[in-house]
Chain A
Amino acid sequence: MTSRKLQRKAHGQRPYFFDDPNVDKLVSMIMGLAGEVSVMHDRADTLERLLQTKGLVTQKEIREFQPSIEIMDERAAWRKTYLSEILRIIEGELEGTARGDLDPYEKAVKTVEAD
């Protein structure tokens, strides 16, 4: 890890949006992890591409690989799906609302109990 030379936290009180600030901190951690997984994906993708073309790969080759515009586009498309999976809970909520799927869960319990 690079040693810290620059200031890392912006001056100014950070806003927390949830009643419990730990929820915001979890959001930050989850997205941090999501970013690192995305970095790993890109690295694996690079490796595979190099293996395909060369059959042999070095760390230097991976490090210095410059993706083409086409590859950048493909990766952006992959990340869209990936983000969709992680943020599934948000998409699901929007989808449910759009479908009018708003009944309280207890209604289903009562329905099957009376069925």
Chain B
Amino acid sequence: MSAESQTQPQTQHSMLAPTDHDEFARQEFVRSYKEYLVHNVHQGNEKRYESSVKPAFEKKHNRPPKDRFEVAKEMTKDPYYQMFSSLLRTSQEMMWSSCQLPVERNLEELNAKVNQVTDGAVKGSLKLDENLATPRYHKAVDIHCQPGGYHNEFADKDASSGMVYDRAVHIYAMAQLGPYNDDIGASIIMWLQEKYPDFKPKRILDMGCSVGHSTIPYAEAFPDAKIYGIDVAAPMLRYAHARAESLNVPVHFSQQNAEKTNFKSGSFDLIVSHILLHETSEKAIHNIVKECHRLLKPGGMMAHGETPPYKNMSPFDAFMLDWDTRNNNEPFWARSHEIDLHKLSEKANFDPSKKIEEMIPSALQVAQARRSEVFQGGDFGGGGLWFVYGNKK
């Protein structure tokens, strides 16, 4: 790749659904469209806010808006913001559609390819549980507008949602997660290795692993460790297993809810998750942290990668980062970004003095230069940093 290159294409590993000429062009358009919104349209919202919306509010109330709710009340009436939002929502819908088309065209063949690996596993493993209930927080709406969500099946032993997701994540993050979409995992690893160089976990669990894109770097970073990945959705896990096997990385996937797993207490040295917590619920987030406490060995650690909490943000920035809650089918996004992490740890019997709350740099240094370096709706990974909430036991 040339130094000036703007493109870091997704690696066409053998499980990634192949695209024909026009399918690929359609996906590339969506990526450009999203980049355009991030770099050329998004900034106008703040200009509108500072030049018009905020002054009008101040004139009426003799003070600036005190929180994101007051900002929202005014900004949602602003025509510029309305157009921005309409364009951003449309880009999300076009993204899913453009990723569905090549999967739909070849569904039987692609599923057969995935399931062939599933049946003939050589290094890792896959354990599905058809009796596991899909949690209500995944059925209330289709999270981040993926039609059918993670869990719905459209064919026998279907893996289509995993296939669609693997490609869509790359476009959603505008390649900012790297050629294997693994930047959140890679960033947590980089942070762990720098901050805790003597920490050598032997058993690692990735909760809500979806297609295992963040799970795989742990196997590479800790070659002596046994790596487990759990998720509630069978189609994701079928694909995750086939994907990991095709990349020659041993991971043990099983269909389990992170709120209550069937692993024995004290099973793991390290438990991680990557943008899982905001896709759960109030009860579930507490259950998950409690389950982490149960599953960790003494001296073990949990680390959950997320986008940053709202608490240190201006009302306007918090309002913009909150765009996804209502507009991108992320109903727990707002609450999960405002939850009291100290209490969350405490209620789960963790010692809050060993709590971790840190902004960590993205491992994908190559992409750093072209990031917008702000946290904003529709610019996933653009901040160049990830937020880690965790606790040592």
Contacts and interface: CB of A to CB of B under 8 A. Distances in A.
Interface of A: 2, 4-12, 14-18, 23-24, 27-28, 31-32, 34-36, 38-39, 41-43, 46, 62-65, 67, 69-70, 72-73, 75-77, 79-80, 83-84, 87, 90-91, 93-94, 97
8 contacts: A2-B105, A6-B154, A10-B141, A11-B139, A11-B142, A35-B33, A36-B26, A79-B29
A84 B9 CA distance: 23
B72 interface: no
Given A8-B100, A35-B94, A83 B25 contact: no
Contact of B9 (A12, A24, A72): A72
Q: Is the interface of A mostly helix, strand, loop or mixed?
A: helix
Contact of A42 (B21, B80, B81, B148): B21
B281 interface: no
Contacts of A16: 86
A19 to B, nearest CB: 9
Nearest to B30: A35
B262 interface: no
Interface in B88-116: 89-91, 93-94, 96-98, 100-101, 103-105, 107
A65 B25 CA distance: 11
A12 B329 CA distance: 7
A10 B145 contact: yes
A73 B82 CA distance: 31
Contacts of A73: 2, 4-7
A27 to B, nearest CB: 4
B29 A10 contact: no
Interface stretch (B40-48, B271-279, B374-382): B40-48
B6 A83 contact: no
Interface string B128-146: 0000000000011110011
A43 B40 contact: no
Contacts of A87: 36, 40-41, 87
A70 B21 CA distance: 16
Contact of B36 (A24, A72, A80): A80
A9 to B, nearest CB: 6
Given A83-B36, A87-B36, A94-B44, A8 B22 contact: no
Contacts of A70: 2, 5
Contact of B7 (A18, A23, A31, A72): A72
Given A12-B140, A63-B21, A80-B32, A17 B85 contact: yes
Given A35-B33, A63-B21, A76-B28, A27 B87 contact: yes
Nearest to A13: B141
Contacts of A27: 83, 86-87, 90
Given A11-B141, A11-B142, A84 B40 contact: yes
Given A15-B327, A27-B87, A80-B36, 14 more contacts: A5-B107, A8-B147, A11-B141, A14-B89, A16-B86, A23-B86, A31-B90, A35-B98, A42-B28, A43-B22, A79-B28, A83-B33, A87-B36, A94-B47
Nearest to B102: A2
Contact of A5 (B47, B93, B155, B326): B155
9 A-B pairs with least C-beta separation: A12-B141, A42-B25, A79-B32, A10-B142, A38-B29, A7-B148, A10-B145, A17-B82, A7-B147
